[in-house]
Amino acid sequence: MKRTLRTAVLTVGALIAALGLPAGAAHADTIAPRVDLRVLVVSDGGPSTAAIAAELDAAGMPYTEVDLTQAGRPVIDAGFLADTVDGRPRARFQAVVLPDDDPFPAGSAEMAALAAYERTYAVPQVDAYTYARPEAGLQYPVYGGYSGSVDGVRASVTAAGKEGPFGYLDGAVPFEDNDPTVGESYAYLSAPAAGADFTSYVDAPIPGSTNRGSLVGEYRHDGRRELVVTFVYNQHQQQFRLLARGIVEWMTGGVHLGASRNYFAVHVDDVFAADDRWNTTLNCTPGDVDCTDPNVTPDPIRMTPADVDHAVSWQDSENFTLDFAYNGASSVDHREDNGGADELADKLVADRDAFRWINHTYTHAFLGCVQDTTVVPWRCATDAAGSTQWMSRNEISDEIATNRAWGLAAGLPLDDGELVTGEHSGMKVLPQQPEDNPNLALALDDNDIAWLGSDNSREGAQRRVGPATTVPRHPMNVFYNAGRAAEQVDEYNWIYTSRAQGGSGICEDNPATTTCLAAPLDTATGYTGHIVPLETRIALGHVLANDPKPHFIHQSNLAEDRIAYPVLSGVLDGYAALFAEDTPVVNLRMKDIGVELQRRAAWRAALRDGGVTAYRVGDTVTVEAPEGVAVTATVPTGTTLAGTAFGEAYAGAVSGWTPATGTPLAFTLPASAAHD
């Protein structure tokens, strides 16, 4: 697959004319320009340009945005687009993104400057969302095409698209249809205009016809290239997420700063423990401080050896590894209560190498403030002086160290630097505990903890807690207190329906909640019919968004009805049906996710502070970044750095990180990336 950045070698006359230089300004018959690895995004406040900008942000790609709706914005002219550096002509942008094929008034000098710049430096232009018309290389839709809703349409990558920028896809590009009462996608489908040099990369069937119309295609004209996109989208829609990588690869020729991969990791909390069960009569979980009834007998949920066999078999079938966050005291207690027997622990230990393991503390104790449970909801206990009472440093350290020792004695393959506390406790929990337990950082230091799991729904950004850096985890809406589908649905109904329907009223009090129900789900069908598709779509959305953060569920979800698997398989099987084999799901352990997030934060800070310079001259890409910051780039296969192959293969290219050393990094592109 050839994905190249087209950089022109200019004649003296062309340079002088393009740059407005005086005669005699150039000193050679030909000279290769410098092309900065930066994208110009011209926006109009619409969702499509915002989506492309979000993709650049997520990948770690530098760009300059010019908002056409803002007064005082920069004027796009020849001086804005290009200049000279050390006597060499410089193109300041490797690609241009416009809201449509011509967002300026008729006769605009800015559009003329852009067109001249694109011709001079062979810089490609993306039309983020444009009407199908001859000026964009397409017939008007009234001539055998279509304009209207494409909700639920199954578009396809064409043969040219697979050979070109969308080769990482298997072929299908399904458009979402999440709500039949809401129009979610609008498009123009049309054939190339007569005589137009137009190649369609993604198309869809035209309603009422046997023909197909282009949704994404390349239009070559007047010495310029445009990627013409004729459907509207936002950054969260699956159809855009599937095509975003290809849009970026097309506009950059596969040579750019930043990288994008599709990640999925799943942490299973409370392994060896038994989770309390939701009570469908009380509408609460016995054992919680607000759920007490002397007539209710506890009925905990705990995996069995057969559940372990199923987990191993499922992993093998999906080529995927689960991370088991364990509590050793639960096995110790089980043996004490069962004459020394614990078949589950014996089975898990025997199969320990099939999984990754994370310290989840010994007893799953609450590591924050001392909880006063005499009131509902609970509050932090205070001493006579009114100061918060905290779990001590020694108590927290014992929870960490004892569980680690138990795991090592059992032969679990641990990474000593990883920790997930029970309920993410010890860290701030609003509203009761607005600050971290001050003893938590000390105990983490005592035990050399480097990576600490946190709840992404509470804290989406990484932060430091003493010596540790947090790894935010996405909670999945598969409840810890449900081992059976009917229990999950009953609790789901309680949480997300109105008080008049017998629910909690949370949605009435918080109307922004996105999972609210118009009516209760059928407990027999609601799980597979509603919850599984919704949770699958949410999790797959994270996977497609270059988001490495792990998801977490609980051991109860692998027991009894094994309700986690339909969601997990839905994500992995759905992914496999969309992507080519060279674009697999990346399944990292917790510390590696932490490193990835940490590197990204440092890289974005360097970009934001203007500390990164990157450009291409001929077949050499030069990158300068602050010493100690890891540089990330995506380049064609065969690219070398200091004579050594760079990066790891992914999606038809190579990408990766390399440390900045204080001197410029010079990447040598392969012959396959030669200029056209």
Distance of CA 291 to the CA centre of its chain: 37
422: DSSP letter:
G
Two structure tokens written together for 590 = 């917790």
Which pLDDT does position 28 carry in this prediction?
37
Domain assignment present for 70: yes
pLDDT in tens, 316-364: 999 999 999 999 999 999 999 999 999 999 999 999 999 999 999 999 9
CA–CA separation, 181 and 179 (whole Å): 5
pLDDT in tens, 403-427: 999 999 999 999 999 999 999 999 9
What is the rounded average pLDDT of the residues 636-657? 97
Beta-bridged to residue 414, according to DSSP, are 357
Contact call for residues 478 and 567 (beta carbons, < 8 A): yes
pLDDT in tens, 574-613: 999 999 999 999 999 999 999 999 999 999 999 999 999 9
Number of folded domains that form the chain: 1
Contact call for residues 371 and 280 (beta carbons, < 8 A): no
Domain assignment present for 415: no
Could you give the 3-state DSSP secondary structure of residue 519?
coil
pLDDT tier for residue 74 given thresholds of 50, 70 and 90: very high
Q: Do you find a cis peptide bond into 377, omega within 30 degrees of 0?
A: yes
pLDDT tier for residue 290 given thresholds of 50, 70 and 90: confident
Contact call for residues 672 and 283 (beta carbons, < 8 A): no
Domain assignment present for 53: yes
Which pLDDT does position 674 carry in this prediction?
63
Of 28-32, 395-399, 502-506, the one with minimum mean pLDDT is: 28-32
* Listed residue (126, 97, 122, 127) closest to 18, CA to CA: 122
pLDDT in tens, 235-251: 999 999 999 999 999 99
Residue type for position 39: V
Domain assignment present for 582: no
Domain assignment present for 221: yes
Which pLDDT does position 675 carry in this prediction?
55
Beta-bridged to residue 341, according to DSSP, are none
Domain assignment present for 246: yes
Quickly count: other Cβ atoms within 10 Å of residue 393's Cβ: 18
Could you give the 3-state DSSP secondary structure of residue 669?
coil
Which pLDDT does position 22 carry in this prediction?
38
CA–CA separation, 113 and 117 (whole Å): 6
Domain assignment present for 138: yes
In whole angstroms, how far apart are CA 233 and each of 44, 57, 99, 221, 226? Answer: 14, 17, 12, 26, 18
Please indicate whether residue 13 or residue 342 has the higher confidence score (pLDDT).
342
Domain assignment present for 59: yes
Q: Which domain holds residue 231?
A: 10-257
CATH number of the domain enclosing 137: 3.40.50.880
* Chain mean pLDDT for the chain: 94
